Structure 1
Amino acid sequence: MTFLVLLLVLWVEKFSSWRTHIQHDGPWLRLLAWTERQNDFVESPWLAVIVLVLLPLLGLWIVLAVLQPLLYGWLVLPVHLLVLVYSLGRGDLQAALGPFRDSWRRSDGEAAYLVARRDLALEAENESALLQSVQKYMVWQAYQSFFAVIFWYALLGPLAALAYRLLAMMAEHGQQVNVRERAVALRHAFDWLPVRVLAVSFAIVGDFVAVNRALLHELLSWDISAAQLVINVGRAASEAPEPQIGEAGVASLDGLWQLMVRAAVLWYAVFALWALFY
């Protein structure tokens, strides 16, 4: 059933508008705001993690436990699908990058700066740094929106996928430093394994030798961030040229995107073989 859900989530992502209807974060964000107004939660951030992450996971576990014995377990399939779709990242990455790509292709640096600030919340000191920031943004968003979620779903099921998304939202939207820092630390732990699996995937579908040089000294490092590791390996695997404005810069973005598409195909092929033989 896991592989069927992974196929269905691709259909939902590419050919329907269900994702926008499923990903309603309002109630959870209001709960986050409420917890951050309570001194007990601010002083003991683990209590915030319990309320914001563990309680929703407990509710989901109860629902799955109740539905599992019914109709040979098929009633849990729509629950798995809804949870996995909800756990994907927010927004449309390709649509968000569109205005920047158009400006960059025209070699309109000023417009590229403006749309990067408006659409991507990115700023840089010069054109080279701006393109590198956009490359990093694109690879990181693709990883945290899709690869990390399906990795944890395939490995441990919907509870792990939902936990990853809730921790990501705590890290992104948390206003209290103690609460946000605890979420960031837990998310770093969640990212350690899948980002390295993705890095190895980049080596398989990209430039293996360049990835080996980029990854060798950081493979087991706990300190390097997932975002920095995935963009370093992504640039090496796609053989990204030096940043430059114009069509060549857009081509480097396309190269990174195609690298991630090939990695996704590899992952789905592995999941298919796993489902077939196990």
Structure 2
Amino acid sequence: MALFSLIVVLLAERLRLVADAFQFEAWFGRYRRLMFDDQALRSPLRMAVALVLPALVVWLAQRLLTGVWFGVLHLALWIGVGLLLFAHGPLRQRFRQYLEAARRGDIQSCFNYADRLDESTAMQAASVEELGQRMGQLSAWLNYRYYAAVALYFVLLGPAMATFYCTVRAYCDHFAAQDCRRPLLGPLMKLLDWVPVRIVSLGFALSGHFSKAAPVLVPKVLDPFSDPRRMITEVALAAEEVPETAGEPLCVQPTLALLKLAKRNFILLLVVVSLLTIFGVIH
């Protein structure tokens, strides 16, 4: 069920079949307005309730729908939650705007779109080449946070845990963009990223130049306090050479190269999940 649901969800997301109102950013915006306001979330208890509630609802729905109509409703729940968690139209649109601005030579717009892609960290680049490298690293990081890590939680621990990860990530990004601190978020996000970031980093090494990535990967994997973002971006950059691409601006070439690496890594993840499903490890 996990593999089938993931494939259906990724296909629907790729074909852009998910309406804007049913995408994660829209859902999270409505959820924040219905729950506690930002000031109320200074309380650890309220913060915990806001983080856990969506996952709890999904978990209860899973329990209630198990076995109903020969499992059809249970499968529908998996697919419905997956469509919600993996649909990120606004993120894809911002990436497209960055690429279009680069190809028409509008460097100032490139910097503006780059800042919009990652509101938690200003895109500080001194040159077009440096902007391209940082955008390449950012593409690897966003691919991990919005797709690879979510897929791992979705397949291995189910839609409720994937919902919990996405909720924590969304609140982290929301308050980071406002330069605000709230209880629980930082330590909890690092804890949730601890295992997936190591699996995905290993995938980057296996999908790219392993001999170049291994010296970067091994010390970071063995360090229990490694920063997840630095691990992903540095291993990805070491694993993939940035070739000279005819007709592409300098600020686009690293982005395209690391996006290709991320796609190969995701395919590797799907192959491993398929094998685990065949051998009965994942149901």
Which of the five TM-score ranges fits, normalised by the shorter chain?
A: 0.7 to 0.9
Tell me the secondary structure at the aligned position of residue 18 of structure 1: coil
Shift of 1:125: 4.3
Aligned letter for 2:237? R
Aligned letter for 2:278? L
| Partner residue, 2:276 | 274
1:250 is aligned, of 243, 249, 252, to: 252
Gaps (5+ residues) in structure 2? none
The within-5 A match list for 1:31-42 is 31-34=34-37, 36-38=38-40, 41-42=41-42
Alpha-carbon spacing, 1:97–1:55, altered in 2? closer, same or farther (3 Å): closer
Q: Deviations over 1:170-207 (max 9, x none)?
A: 1122369452x521221111111111101111111100
Q: After alignment, is 148-157 or 78-87 more displaced?
A: 78-87
1:52 is aligned, of 35, 40, 50, to: 50
| Partner residue, 1:25 | 28
| Partner residue, 2:185 | 183
CA distance in 2, matches of 1:83, 1:110: 38
CA distance in 2, matches of 1:152, 1:102: 33
Contact 2:3 2:277 in 1 (8 A): yes
Contact 2:10 2:86 in 1 (8 A): no
State the identity as a percent.
Answer: 26
| Partner residue, 1:4 | 4
The within-5 A match list for 1:90-109 is 90-105=88-103, 108-109=106-107
Q: Deviations over 1:212-244 (max 9, x none)?
A: 0111211132333211110101101112479xx
**Quick check: 1:146 aligned with 2:147?**
yes
| Partner residue, 1:14 | 14
TM-score of the superposed pair, with normalisation by structure 2: 0.85
Shift of 1:108: 4.8
Alpha-carbon spacing, 1:205–1:178, altered in 2? closer, same or farther (3 Å): closer
CA distance in 2, matches of 1:112, 1:54: 37
Gaps (5+ residues) in structure 1? none
Alpha-carbon spacing, 1:182–1:247, altered in 2? closer, same or farther (3 Å): same
Alpha-carbon spacing, 1:33–1:109, altered in 2? closer, same or farther (3 Å): same
Tell me the secondary structure at the aligned position of residue 89 of structure 2: coil
Shift of 1:118: 5.3
Count of residue pairs the alignment pairs up = 270
CA distance in 2, matches of 1:125, 1:14: 31
Tell me the secondary structure at the aligned position of residue 224 of structure 1: coil
CA distance in 1, matches of 2:124, 2:243: 19
Alpha-carbon spacing, 1:129–1:60, altered in 2? closer, same or farther (3 Å): same
Q: Deviations over 1:103-128 (max 9, x none)?
A: 43455534433443456554324114
2:78 is aligned, of 71, 80, 105, to: 80
TM-score of the superposed pair, with normalisation by structure 1: 0.86
